Structure 1
Amino acid sequence: MVNMNNFNRDMFNIARSARGFSQADLAKRADVTQALISKLENGLTTDPTQETVFLIAKALNFPIDFFYSNERPLGLPPFHYRKRQKVGKRVLSKIESDINLRRIHLSRLFKSYEVDTHKDIPVIDLEKMQWRPSDAAQSLRGHWMVPRGPIENMTALLENAGAVVIKIDFDTRHLEALSFRFPGIPPLIFINSKLDSGLYRFVLAHELGHLVIHNQPETDECMEVEADEFAAEFLTPEKEIRPYLRRPSLGSLAKIKSHWKVSIKALIVRCQRLKLITPSQYTGLNVNYSKAGYARGEPFPIPPEEPCTLGNAIQFHMKELGYSIEDMARLLILNDDDFQEMYTVRPLLRIIK
């Protein structure tokens, strides 16, 4: 039973940010004053009337119970925001709210659903081991017994190791992914659903690098360079990729892309960092890349990958435990239409009423 005496201003903040409303927007939609909205968010008004909460809940399209739940949002580590300086405050607030909503949902789903995995995502201390990020990538491939050659499905590999990959429309091209270890649930990787499939795989490997080698915050620039090195070695191990890159051209790199499932752009950078080409050759490949129009879309697209774990958890509740759409909405503190839009409309799963 929800205690209707304890209004949760943190959940109120999540709801407003998730809808992308300003305080003035919400005040107008709910037919209340902006002063009231501001005081509620800042804890100056702690006991709004049920009529006020009803108006706010209706305007935000969240159930009233949402604003009285005992859930608490978690702050997101700022050092995991890629290119965050280019992302507007409102967009960033919405992303943070969306991530907190899904974290709350996963915490509730995983009380009944267990992820079946025989692997783990370890934490590797580079300084203690005296390793480079590429050494950590090689070690993890060995630990997971990844076969030689290209990784067939990066998403499945991560989810089989216990991570949960969640696609979200970040509503910005300046943010590619975020990854976290939250208490009580598996590691989470939130990835921009608008990414090209070639970049998608590299970004997943990049975020895996953050989870494995960045247990403590460092400078953004250092962490990004290290995660890129980890990702490149994890997807294209140096000893295996070198023979493919001896005489790189756009044509040969396109064929290599099809085999290794790594973008032509990433392969050009790999050639340069492995010192397989001169600076002038590197410049020439990039010029030809631009002239060919590949920046707008590369040839030989890599087949898209779809996460499964979250969808499987939803399916388990509905098929095995007999939850209806209404039950699921109540479990996740959503309205029915929000639950269906978030978890049944997209390819995540299909539900037959």
Structure 2
Amino acid sequence: MSVQDSSPILSFDPRRLTLARELQGVRKSDLARSLGVSAVTITHWESGNRNPTKDNVYALALTLGVAPSFLESQFSEAPLISGAPHFRSLRSTTQLSRNQAQAYTQVVQDVIHTMNEYVDFPDLVLPGILTDSDLPGSEIPRLAAEQVRKDWGLGNKPVQHVVRAMENHGIVVVFAPFHSAAIDAYSTFGSEAPVVVLNPTKGDYYRQRFDAAHELGHLVMHADADPGHKVLEAQAHAFAAEFLAPSACIQDELPTVMNGQGWMKLKELKEYWGISMQALLYRAKELGRLSDDAYRNAMVTVSRNGWRSKEPGLISSLEEPSLIPHAISLIEESGVPSEILREKSRVPQHYFEVITARRPVLPVNA
């Protein structure tokens, strides 16, 4: 026979309850139903108006798949992120999915915060070239891409490894959990480091590079902008195109006619610059190399050949994040097991594995 403990827990942090719930993609009403309490009670707990009992905390932790300590306040923890991530298609992303994505970036910050006790991450080298949604046709994306290339010493050559270049200059790159695969890449600033989250099911080297460069554009240009505006997405798209293949280098190389020779040239440029044919076609239209009609006809060919979702290409392996995995190895070599890091970060096991992996991690029940 067990004795229930109805005393309130003094170190309970209501914000951590919200974080745990959103991390699991659970609505307040569903959590309340699972615990046999009212949704109003969950709201009281999350707002800090009322503290749950110790038994409540254990039940919450069990239901949400976290340790009870996850719900406690601690002196040493990464401050909670206040700004919303930049999503590629905000209108098609549900609020529940957005909250879950933001919660994931928070636990990424928690892992980085813990690792910072043992290793030094690269200094952030990221020019701030702010723009906004009132400047749809501005030159800022091109100038921003040029500045990043200059600051990172890339010159006008192809970026050999986009993810590695970002990590070398202080940006943390991780894969998302598979349950977030409906969301494209997204990015956010945090207290520990800017974070870019890549889609784990993309499976396309060329598009993944563009996704990463697109999110880099948001970090450079849109630090203070509200996410989701079409103009901001267009600016990040323009930044990615210029960052991956500077117009000064590629403009005269792009085909003007999409005949057999034109397609061969496009495939050559794809491999040289590491950018998809569809992105190159759009680039050719934007730079005046292809007329609108020629571009539309070319895209019809792309669709007819089944290239909308999977283009032919020589490189099949994705770029892999290495900053956090390498840091984990260094810390383990110093005598600190990764399990100690996980416990100190309070991040659930599966999420810790996803964050610290070089490759996408399948869900536990896969």
Q: Deviation digits for residues 123-151 of structure 1, max 9, x if unmatched?
A: 12569xx9532122123212222143321
Which residue number corresponds to residue 153 of structure 1? Answer: 161
Matched, 1:187 2:191: no
CA distance in 1, matches of 2:181, 2:355: 23
- Alpha-carbon deviation of 1:314? 2.2
Task: Say which structure, 1 or 2, has more relative contact order (CA 8 Å, 6+ apart).
Answer: 2
Residue from 109, 113, 116 that aligns with 1:110: 116
Choose the corresponding residue for 1:342, options 344, 347, 354.
354
Stretches of structure 1 that go unaligned for 5 or more consecutive residues are none
Does the aligned pair in 2 maintain the 1:86–1:174 contact within 8 Å?
Answer: no
Work out the CA distance in 2 between the residues paired with 1:155 and 1:241: 22
Alignment length (residue pairs): 339
3-state SS of 1:74 partner: coil
RMSD between superposed Cα atoms in Å:
2.8
Q: Which amino acid aligns with 2:84?
A: P
Structure 1 residue 243 displacement after superposition: 3.4
Post-superposition shift, 1:304? Answer: 0.9
Q: What pairs with 1:179-328 in structure 2 (closer than 5 Å)?
A: 179-183=187-191, 185-195=192-202, 196-217=204-225, 220-247=229-256, 248=258, 249-300=262-313, 302=315, 303-320=317-334, 322-328=335-341
In the aligned structure 2, how far is the partner of 1:214 from the partner of 1:186?
16
Q: Is the partner of 1:216 in helix, strand or coil?
A: coil
Structure 1 residues 334 and 228: CA distance shift in structure 2, 3 A: closer
Q: Aligned-pair distance for 1:94? A: 1.2
Distance in 2 separating the partners of 1:204 and 1:326: 29
What is the deviation of 1:155?
Answer: 0.6
Q: Deviations over 1:82-102 (max 9, x none)?
A: 311111122222111111111
SS of equivalent to 2:198: strand
**Displacement after TM superposition at 1:348 (Å):** 7.6
Q: 1:34 to 1:138 in 2, by over 3 A?
A: closer
Q: Please state if 1:76 is matched with 2:95.
A: no
1:56-135 paired onto structure 2 within 5 Å = 56-70=60-74, 71=77, 72-77=79-84, 80-116=86-122, 120-125=125-130, 132-135=140-143
What is the match of residue 11 of structure 1?
Answer: 16
Identity across the alignment (%): 26
Given that 1:328 and 1:339 are in contact with CA atoms closer than 8 Å, whether structure 2 keeps it comes out as no
1:208 and 1:86 map into 2 onto residues whose CA distance is 21
**What's the secondary structure of 2:196's corresponding residue?**
strand
Amino acid at match of 1:306: E
Corresponding residue for residue 178 of structure 1: 186
Shift of 1:192: 2.0
Further displaced range: 36-45 or 62-71: 36-45
Post-superposition Cα deviations, 1:251-303, rounded to whole Å, max 9, x if no partner, equal 43223212211001100001000000111111110111111110131111543
SS at match of 1:179: strand
Distance of 1:154 and 1:266 partners within structure 2: 16
Match of 1:41, as an amino acid? E
Alpha-carbon distance in structure 2 between the residues aligned to 1:256 and 1:203: 18
AA aligned opposite 2:198: I
Deviations 1:153-172, CA, capped at 9 Å, x for gaps? 11111111111111113745
Contact 1:16 1:60 in 2 (8 A): yes
| 1:326 Cα deviation after fit | 3.7
Checking the alignment, whether the CA contact within 8 Å between 1:311 and 1:348 is kept in structure 2 is: no
Shift of residue 16, structure 1, vs aligned partner: 1.3
TM-score normalised by structure 2 residue count? 0.83
Distance (whole Å) between structure 2 residues aligned to residue 236 and residue 215 of structure 1: 24
* Residue identity matched to 1:36: T
User: What is the CA-CA distance between 1:18 and the residue it aligns to?
Assistant: 1.3
Question: For the Cα contact (< 8 Å) 2:11–2:72, is it kept in 1?
Answer: yes
Deviates more, 1:310-319 or 1:276-285: 310-319
Bigger Cα displacement from structure 2, 338-347 vs 241-250: 338-347
* Aligned position for 2:5: none
Matched residue SS, 1:296: coil
| 1:137–1:233 CA contact under 8 A, matched in 2 | yes
Q: TM-score, normalised by structure 1?
A: 0.85
